């Protein structure tokens, strides 16, 4: 959570930056003080304190302070243990599993339910209107985009996934109001994805970005679902980030399925399962 605040500071208004710096200076005290005292210490108004909390991805001051208290007092300590060339197989296994579990628990503590809710609402609105839902990603994120397309396709949603930059631009060019595109990126700095996101947004489509806080892509979409972790995207394969992105897609798909409702979805899934039976050995 503190890493997210630090990464978000440059994109905040000056007054909100003062609130962020006050929080980073002493998170424990910040979590306990009333809004009036926080405003006085940061030399800002009380609404600015609330705006800061929302700007960094939380529902408001109460939600922010609750997550902050959990981070500094009861939160999961995240120690990223890099894999070394001389590690034994047992060491690699423990490091990879520990890093993944810690990243998931950290996301559980830091994630903004408000941002997830906005993304789910946008996806459901596109589905209800019979519009398109597209998933864009390159490299490892392209694999996540394909997984997302598979999950949403099974819900009877009109969807496609593209990992080629030219296809992403062409797809974004034909999107319009009511359509939705989910752009997935570990670094948040891939030029092809930035171009496609900008085109889709200009054409009126709702853009959801799953990427690191403080990256150029994070501010390029309508809705930002932060996926922050200490893993460097330039060393080895970005294992933790890929799994984190897959988990976020699972959350979105599950929420959308619940919104669609079992009355409409269960018959579809049952028929699909029935038709696949002859594809399996008894």
* pLDDT at position 233: 47
**pLDDT, mean of residues 125-143:** 94
Q: What is the pLDDT of residue 263?
A: 72
Residue 2 has pLDDT above 90, yes or no: no
Would residue 8 be called left, alpha or beta, if left means φ above 0 and alpha means ψ between -120 and 50 degrees?
Answer: alpha
- 198-204: average pLDDT: 97
More confident residue, 235 or 197: 197
CB 58 within 8 A of CB 112: yes
Whether residue 213 contacts residue 220, with contact meaning beta carbons closer than 8 Å, is answered with: no
This prediction's pTM: 0.69
More confident residue, 274 or 57: 57
- What is the per-residue pLDDT across 67-124, written as a single tens digit (0 to 9) for each? 888 776 544 444 455 677 788 888 788 878 877 887 888 888 778 889 999 999 999 9
Range scoring the smallest mean pLDDT among 76-80, 103-107, 202-206, 210-214: 76-80
Could you tell me what percent of the chain has a pLDDT over 70? 93
**Residue 189 neighbours by CB distance under 10 Å:** 14
Percent of the chain with pLDDT over 90: 54
Q: Tell me: pLDDT of 11 over 70.
A: yes
Strand partners, 133: 159, 180
């Amino acid at each position: 959570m503190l890493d997210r605040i630090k990464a978000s500071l440059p994109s905040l208004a000056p007054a909100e930056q003062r609130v962020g710096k006050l929080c980073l200076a002493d998170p424990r005290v910040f979590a306990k003080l009333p809004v009036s005292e926080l405003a006085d210490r940061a030399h800002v108004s009380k609404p600015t304190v609330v705006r800061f909390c929302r700007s960094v991805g939380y529902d408001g001051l109460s939600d922010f302070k609750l997550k902050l208290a959990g981070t500094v007092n009861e939160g999961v300590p995240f120690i990223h243990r890099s894999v070394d060339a001389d590690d034994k197989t047992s060491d690699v296994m423990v490091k990879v599993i520990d890093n993944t579990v810690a990243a998931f628990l950290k996301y559980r503590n830091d994630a903004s339910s408000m941002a997830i809710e906005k993304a789910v609402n946008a996806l459901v609105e596109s589905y209800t209107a019979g519009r398109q839902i597209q998933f864009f990603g390159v490299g490892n994120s392209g694999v996540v985009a394909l997984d997302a397309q598979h999950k949403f396709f099974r819900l009877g949603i009109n969807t496609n996934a593209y990992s080629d930059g030219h296809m992403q631009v062409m797809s974004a060019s034909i999107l319009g109001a009511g359509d939705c595109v989910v752009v997935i990126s570990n670094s948040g700095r891939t030029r092809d994805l930035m171009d496609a996101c900008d085109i889709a947004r200009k054409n009126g489509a709702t853009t959801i970005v799953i990427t690191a806080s403080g990256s150029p892509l994070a501010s390029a979409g309508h809705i930002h679902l932060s996926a922050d972790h200490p893993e460097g995207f330039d060393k080895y394969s970005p294992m933790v980030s890929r799994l984190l992105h897959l988990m976020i897609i699972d959350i979105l798909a599950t929420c959308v399925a619940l919104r669609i409702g079992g009355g409409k979805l269960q018959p579809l899934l049952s028929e699909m399962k029935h038709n696949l039976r002859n594809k399996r050995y008894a």
